[in-house]
Amino acid sequence: MLQSLVIILEAQKSARIPDFVGYELRGWLLKQIRILDVERGGLLHAGSFERPYTISTLMQADHPATHLEKGSHYWFRITTFDADTSALFVGVLTQQQSVFLDYVPLQIVQIASSPEEHAFAVQLPGEALLQENWDASQQEKKTFTLIFNSPTSFGNAKSDFPMPVPHLMFYSYQRRWETYAQQRMGFGAGLFAATSMVVQQAQIGTAKLTFREGRKNKETYAMGFVGEVTFAFLPEADVMPKFRADLAALQAKILLLARFSFFCGTGRKTGWGMGQTVYVE
């Protein structure tokens, strides 16, 4: 099950909040999970494995919220790409009445799960994404665009690489797809992206985020890129010989992974609000 839930909130008082609160929202959600299921809550929080969810920062309309006004509405998005995690999150969220953010209460007004309720809300089985991707009209696509709505980067705890490099992106998408869809793709998406695709156009900038971790509010920093990037497939003559025989099928799998990015996010710290990604149809 691929799921994107949008939690719509109403501020119960006016207050200034940090510029980016994805980490705080994650902490709130995992705390509620641990109350109901200590073992599962600890597993989702700990370790370095690929987590089957993403969480956005708090938004007001189409931009991050930094100041709450009593009575105004805000929202954040939670995605899952694992059936068990999807069921767990829905079960926990439907039992909540409020979110507490920096000790400020926000009442839950609605949990949107369909595009009719919110543009970023959707639920569908992974098979539906596969069927949609193999639509005949998609086979002629030679370019596609991804929008990175929150700072996105690759790297590790010691360094950030805030650039939209195709092989880093599609290697990570494939790893997440194969881990949770339990379906092998039969080729190296990272190698294909490195040798058979280019960035055709990019309108991006960079942003620095500050996170307050743990009980001592230790500050850590991350740099990421935001904006819109268009990718293009290379002509068959310029593709590695090993990919030419099944070129159309491999390009279709790349488009599948590009759509999947809406659910799995891009790069590191996607559970903290980074790497929020939208595929442009």
Architecture of domain 2-112: 2-Layer Sandwich (3.30)
**3-class SS of residue 38:** helix
* Under 8 Å between Cβ of 200 and 143: yes
The whole-number pLDDT of residue 136 equals: 45
Look over the chain and give the mean of its residue pLDDT values, rounded to a whole number.
89
The whole-number pLDDT of residue 194 equals: 96
| Per-residue pLDDT tens digits for 99-140 | 998 789 999 999 999 999 999 999 987 677 766 655 544 557
The whole-number pLDDT of residue 1 equals: 82
The whole-number pLDDT of residue 82 equals: 86
- Domain positions in the chain: 2-112, 127-280
| Per-residue pLDDT tens digits for 129-152 | 766 655 544 557 899 999 999 999
Give the model's confidence band at 220: pLDDT under 50 very low, under 70 low, under 90 confident, else very high: confident
In our burial notation (b when 16+ CB lie closer than 10 A, e otherwise), range 225-238 reads bbbbbebebeeeee
**What number is the average pLDDT over the span 46-67?**
86
Give the model's confidence band at 46: pLDDT under 50 very low, under 70 low, under 90 confident, else very high: low
> In this predicted structure, which of 22-31, 123-132, 222-231 has the lowest mean pLDDT?
123-132
**3-class SS of residue 262:** helix
| Per-residue pLDDT tens digits for 164-202 | 999 999 999 999 999 887 778 999 999 999 999 999 999
**What number is the average pLDDT over the span 30-57?**
77
Q: What is the pTM of this model?
A: 0.92
In our burial notation (b when 16+ CB lie closer than 10 A, e otherwise), range 116-146 reads eebebbbeeebeebeeebeeeebeeeeebeb
* Under 8 Å between Cβ of 143 and 262: no
Cα 45 to Cα 50, 55, 102, 109, 239: the distances in Å are 11, 13, 20, 26, 41
- Six-digit token string for 120: 């970023």
Q: In this model, does residue 280 exceed pLDDT 70?
A: yes
Q: In this model, does residue 219 exceed pLDDT 60?
A: yes
Distance CA 229, CA 189 (A): 18
Cβ neighbours of residue 60 closer than 8 Å, sequence gap 6 or more: 72, 73, 74
Residue 184: how many other CB atoms lie within 10 Å: 9
Q: In this model, does residue 9 exceed pLDDT 90?
A: yes
Architecture of domain 127-280: 2-Layer Sandwich (3.30)
Give the model's confidence band at 57: pLDDT under 50 very low, under 70 low, under 90 confident, else very high: very high
